[in-house]
Every structure is written in C-alpha cells, then in structure tokens.
Amino acid sequence: MSELAVEAEKLDSADELAGVRAQFVLDTASDDAADAVGVYLDGNSLGALPAGVPGRVEDVVRRQWGELRIRSWDESGWWTAPERIGDRIAPLVGAATGQIVVGDSTSVNVFKALVGAVRLAGEGRDEIVVDATTFPTDGYIAESAARMTGCTLRPVTPAEVPGALGDRTAAVLLNHVDYRTGRLHDLPALTAAAHAAGAVVVWDLCHSAGALPVGLDEHGVDLAVGCTYKYLNGGPGSPAYLYVRRSLQDRFDSPLPGWNSHAEPFGMRPAYEPAAGALRGRVGTPDILSMLALEAALEVWDGDGVSIEAVRAKSLALTDFFLRCVESYVPAGRVESVTPAAHAERGSQVALRCPDAGDVMKRLIERGVVGDFRHPDVLRFGFTPLYIGFADVERAARVLGDVVR
C-alpha cells in the first residue's frame, strides 16, 4: 500500500462526516472489477441518491396521491411546499427564513431574477453586466432579458466587473463558481461593488450551494438562484429556487406572474395582485413529486455536526489531497490544474486540462472513476463531502495516473 493510501485511511478514520456516507446509495469501489462505478466524482452535475428518498417518494405516490388525492394539497402540505422547502435550503446559503421559494428550473428563475433586477433598478439604468464566462444558459437568458427590457448587454469577466460598472448599470448577473474551472468568485466584494454603483446583483449559486458557505444575508445579496440536483442531491431535474432579499420583496416585480403568486390564488380575479414576501416568486402549480423528493434529500443535513462549515472544511481537504495525489501518480506535464490553488478562490471541484480529455474520461469511467469532460480539453472532478472520502480521492488519482500513462 502506498504512503498516500495509508494517509487516506488515517484521514477517513478522523473524518467527522464519514458516517453521512451511509445515507447515500453508492457502489462499492473495486480495482478488480473494470466496470464497477466505485468513485463518484460527478456530484457537481448530479448528486448521488440519498437513501431516504425512494421510501418518501413511494409514500407520496401511493398514499398522498393514490389515497388522499386532492386532499393532499392541504393534509400533506403540498400547497406550502415551495416556501417550506425554501426555508430548509435557507441556512445552507446563509439566508433567514421567508426569503427563498422553490420551484421552476434554474433558467426560469434566472429570467425572473434578472428582469426583476432591472425593474428594481429603476429609470435611467439601461445596461446589464453579465459574467462572460457564465454557463451558456445564463448568457442566453441575459441576452433575451436585455432585449425585452431595452437594455444593452455587457459581457465581462468577473475580474473586470468593478471597472465595468457605472450609473447606467441596472443589473449584474454572476456565477459564484465557474462551472468549468471551479474558480470561486469573490461574492462579498463583487456584491459591494455592484451596490456602490447603484446596481442590483443576481448570483447563480448552482455550483456552490451545499458545498460551501454563501452568506446571502450577511453580504447583502439582492437576488440569487440555484439548482438543487448537484450538491443538494435533489435528483435529476429537481426544482430550482429563487432568493429575494427581504427588504426588496415588496418591490420585486416578477416578469412571470402566475396564479400561484397571486395574493388570492383561489380568488380567480382577472387583475393580478402579487402575494407578499418571497411567494411572489412562484408562478404555476409546483412539481410535487420532484419537490417532495428534494425535501427528503435535504434531511441528510439534519444530523449532528452536518453543517455547511464542516462540509467546506472537508471539501478543501479533499481537493488539496486530490491535487497532491495527482502530482504523485500522474506523469509530470500530462495534466495541468486550472482550478485555483488558493482556498479562497476554489469551489468544490478540480478541473484538469488534458489534451485527450474526452478519451481519458471514457477510460476512467470504465475503471470505475466517474467524473466528466468539458470541451475541448478539461477533466472535471466534483467533490461532495457528504459521501466522498479520502480513499476515494486517492483511488481516483491512482487510476488517472494508470490511464494517462
């Protein structure tokens, strides 16, 4: 056994979050079985299945829907699920209750937040600044929102944002973590810069929520959106969420008013009157099956010691250890990390540049190490501390070294 493998065993023995792994459905690692999916490092695309979800979904389908039927909107709490589950997510992103509503997709919520931000900014501001390195959909939505609101779209890198802001800036749309490189952007400083220019800021938390502290309330973030199927393990296509800072809620004007966000949803009035609070971020009938699966998935955070701070500490330790193992096992010059080494600039993934990355990832998956490939030359490995251990990390780097030789 290598020195790194021995060290991994010691680190796993001392890991206070190690017991949480049993709450997930995972395969067993095996170097002997070529097709065994033993190390799952793609939780930054789709989180693993929490063990409590299947039973909860069965109850929702068989009893709540099958037996109670329409009564479940009241008796099973279906109607209040969007805000109730939003309050479950709130502490994971540093928000007080009553500011997050769950529903729709990330793309839809980006649209709601960005158009809402322009409307909050008011007259005389006609420019949207957007992260030029953003996930493509955010860019598409920003371009459409700019056309619809009569704004000019200005794409810049996050580092260029402070210098790009001015008295015409209405809204700023930024990603907390770069989905390709894993770079963590400075949310407090960029939020403060936007506010100093009089702009409204929207943060996309898809690659940070559930992996590291966000501090929405602490840093005065205006609006934020995020998905729940990555580090929150809500399942494929699980509903996204929208955060509206409490002080802005009475002025937040959603571009997608629906009967679910009406002050009197069952009044069926022809004129729209928005509900109070974050509820005005709702639109139509919530997707109950996915939403309640998400609620069950979030219960893994209820255990003693399972805090976002503990998860962040382990995430940094895992990614540090992975980079050390890569340096030891992978031939020099074969891969290059494009993820920042500084903890303050790193999310919960490691991206390695590799000329034949697509082929390498296929062979890694055949050997039971699952990450993903981003065109043209990036190997992406996501580290979900709730179910990834140090032995997993050591094995992944060792197999990578074998594959690229």
Q: Which of 56, 183, 282, 380 is catalytic?
A: 380
Distance CA(154)–CA(164), nearest Å, equals: 8
Q: Which of 230, 280, 346, 395 is catalytic?
A: 230
Q: Are 324 and 358 in contact (CB under 8 A)?
A: no
Residue 350 backbone phi and psi in degrees, to 5: -125, 130
Q: Which of 204, 222, 372, 392 is catalytic?
A: 204
Q: Which of 40, 229, 231, 387 is catalytic?
A: 229
70 SS3 class = helix
204 flagged as catalytic = yes
Q: Which of 24, 40, 111, 135 is catalytic?
A: 135
217 flagged as catalytic = no
Q: Are 117 and 146 in contact (CB under 8 A)?
A: no
344 burial level (CB within 10 Å; 0-12, 13-18, 19+): exposed
Distance CA(379)–CA(385), nearest Å, equals: 19
Whether the link from the prior residue into 239 is cis, omega within 30° of 0, is: no
Instruction: Return the closest-CA partner of residue 300 out of 12, 11, 60, 17.
Output: 17
Which pair of tokens denotes residue 225? 């959106």
Distance CA(102)–CA(84), nearest Å, equals: 8
Q: Are 233 and 52 in contact (CB under 8 A)?
A: no
62 flagged as catalytic = no
Which pair of tokens denotes residue 32? 């002997």
Q: In the β-sheet with 349-353, what is the strand arrangement from edge to edge?
A: 336-337, 349-353, 378-382, 372-374
User: Which positions are catalytic?
Assistant: 135, 204, 229-230, 380
